[in-house]
């Protein structure tokens, strides 16, 4: 294993263990309130993390030619998983949304699987031919199914990741602008005709209105960030984790992190994420990749970067809250598992690629 691969693996271990620690920090109050002890969510996340390390190892040894060979079949299976979430008795309905399938050991959020599958499929499709019609056709179905769940945050990730894939494949900026504009208009229409999302947008634009109602989440996150100041309140001293910040251990976990370790600690954690991408790029520097491998490799990095940016932007109130997990950090097995699986695929591509001849 090269030095860059060791660094990459070390950063995954560091970020995920740090994430596990903060899941415990942020979830103790809610865990005790719901289950009578403070370790419930921590133990669940620890089990998923253990499984994720196994998946990381297996994926790092797996040749990606399998995904290329069976790209269409895997895409069809992933679409079927999205459909199953909408079927009563198979898909679970929580908080008015159908995004999960029940498993013997937990639940599976199928769109997390589809994020990787779509990138893998587009890597196959766009490596053969840069055809806009086919590109939009295969994007239409997941957009429709994710809207029906509904999961607007994941929809934004899928669309943004797809645009990155089209750009990496050599798509023209003009066409990308049209796609982006169309996607923005579609998103705006969805927000306008959905009372729940319209309220979220209104809350984002006017956070001082209805502080005890629609603006409550944004207000509490802002208080957490402000309370952290430069160096934080100290580990374990978050005030907002006491049932003030909703989803404190999942989508809003970085607000608790910022409150406890402050701006300086948050900046260092973000630097660790940046180092993850730099190490990933270094792993394939001076190596020969096929077009499929190139698109898959940088498509995965684009997807993880988008999810990271969207989550952090929502936490610092640059974007409306949309239920986006923070890679390697947020509580939730599906997101964690797929982040590790995708990272394993990166290790596999880097390890099997040949060094360029000078």
Q: Report how far residue 144's alpha carbon sits from residue 226's, in angstroms, rounded to the nearest whole number.
A: 39
Q: What is the DSSP string of 7-45?
A: HHHHHHHHHHHHHHHHHHHHHHHHHHHHHSSTTHHHHHH
* Containing structural domain, residue 238: 3-355
**Do 319 and 310 meet the contact criterion of CB atoms below 8 Å apart?**
yes
- Degrees (nearest 5) of the Cα angle 70, 73, 77? 135
**Do 282 and 342 meet the contact criterion of CB atoms below 8 Å apart?**
no
Q: What is the gyration radius of the CA atoms in the chain, in angstroms?
A: 20
Q: Strands 106-109 and 354-355: what pairing?
A: unpaired
Residue 230: how many other CB atoms lie within 10 Å: 8
Q: What is the DSSP string of 263-322?
A: HHHHHHHHHHHHHHHHHHHHHTTTEE--HHHHHHHHHHHHHHHHHHHHHHHHHTTSS---
Query: The dihedral of CA 336, 338, 340, 346: what is its sign?
Result: negative
- The size of the chain, in residues, is 358
Q: Report how far residue 188's alpha carbon sits from residue 183's, in angstroms, rounded to the nearest whole number.
A: 9
**Do 208 and 215 meet the contact criterion of CB atoms below 8 Å apart?**
yes
Report how many domains make up the chain.
1
DSSP character for 141? H
Q: pLDDT digit of tens for each residue in the chain (358 aa)?
A: 788 899 999 999 999 999 999 998 888 888 888 787 788 889 999 999 999 999 999 999 999 999 999 999 999 999 999 999 988 878 887 777 788 887 776 788 899 999 999 999 999 999 998 888 899 899 989 988 988 888 888 888 998 999 899 999 988 877 777 777 777 777 777 666 666 566 666 655 565 555 554 555 666 777 767 777 778 788 877 777 765 666 667 777 888 888 888 889 899 999 999 999 999 999 998 898 999 999 999 999 999 999 999 988 888 776 766 678 899 988 888 899 999 999 999 999 999 888 877 6
Closest Cα to residue 188, out of 146, 234, 219, 156? Answer: 156
């Amino acid at each position: 294993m090269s030095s860059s691969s060791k660094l990459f693996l070390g950063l995954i271990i560091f970020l995920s263990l740090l994430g596990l620690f903060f899941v415990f920090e942020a979830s103790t109050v809610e865990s005790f309130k719901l289950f009578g002890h403070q370790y419930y969510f921590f133990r669940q996340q620890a089990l998923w993390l253990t499984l994720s390390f196994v998946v990381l190892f297996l994926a790092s040894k797996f040749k990606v030619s399998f995904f290329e060979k069976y790209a269409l079949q895997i895409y069809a299976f992933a679409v079927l998983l999205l459909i199953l979430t909408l079927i009563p008795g198979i898909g679970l309905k929580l908080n008015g949304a159908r995004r999960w399938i029940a498993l013997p050991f937990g639940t599976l959020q199928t769109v997390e699987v589809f994020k990787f599958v779509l990138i893998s499929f587009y890597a196959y499709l766009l490596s053969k031919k840069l055809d806009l019609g086919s590109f939009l056709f295969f994007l239409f179905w997941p957009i429709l199914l994710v809207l029906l769940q509904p999961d607007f945050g994941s929809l934004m990730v899928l669309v943004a990741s797809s645009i990155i894939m089209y750009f990496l494949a050599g798509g023209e900026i003009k066409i990308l602008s049209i796609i982006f504009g169309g996607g923005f208009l579609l998103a705006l229409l969805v927000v306008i005709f959905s009372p729940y999302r319209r309220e979220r947008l209104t809350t984002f634009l006017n956070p001082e209105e209805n502080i005890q109602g629609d603006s409550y989440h944004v207000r509490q996150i802002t208080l957490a960030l402000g309370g952290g100041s430069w160096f934080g309140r100290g580990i374990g001293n978050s005030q907002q984790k006491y049932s003030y910040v909703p989803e404190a251990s999942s989508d809003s976990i970085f607000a608790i992190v910022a409150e406890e370790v402050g701006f300086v600690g948050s900046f260092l954690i973000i630097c660790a994420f940046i180092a993850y991408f730099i190490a990933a790029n270094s792993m394939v520097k001076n190596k020969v990749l096929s077009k499929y491998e190139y698109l898959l490799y940088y498509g995965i990095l684009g997807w993880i970067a988008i999810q990271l940016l969207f989550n952090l932007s929502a936490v610092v109130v640059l974007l409306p809250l949309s239920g986006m997990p923070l890679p390697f950090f947020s509580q939730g097995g599906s997101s964690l598992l797929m982040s590790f699986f995708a990272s394993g695929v990166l290790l596999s591509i880097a390890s099997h690629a040949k060094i360029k001849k000078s």
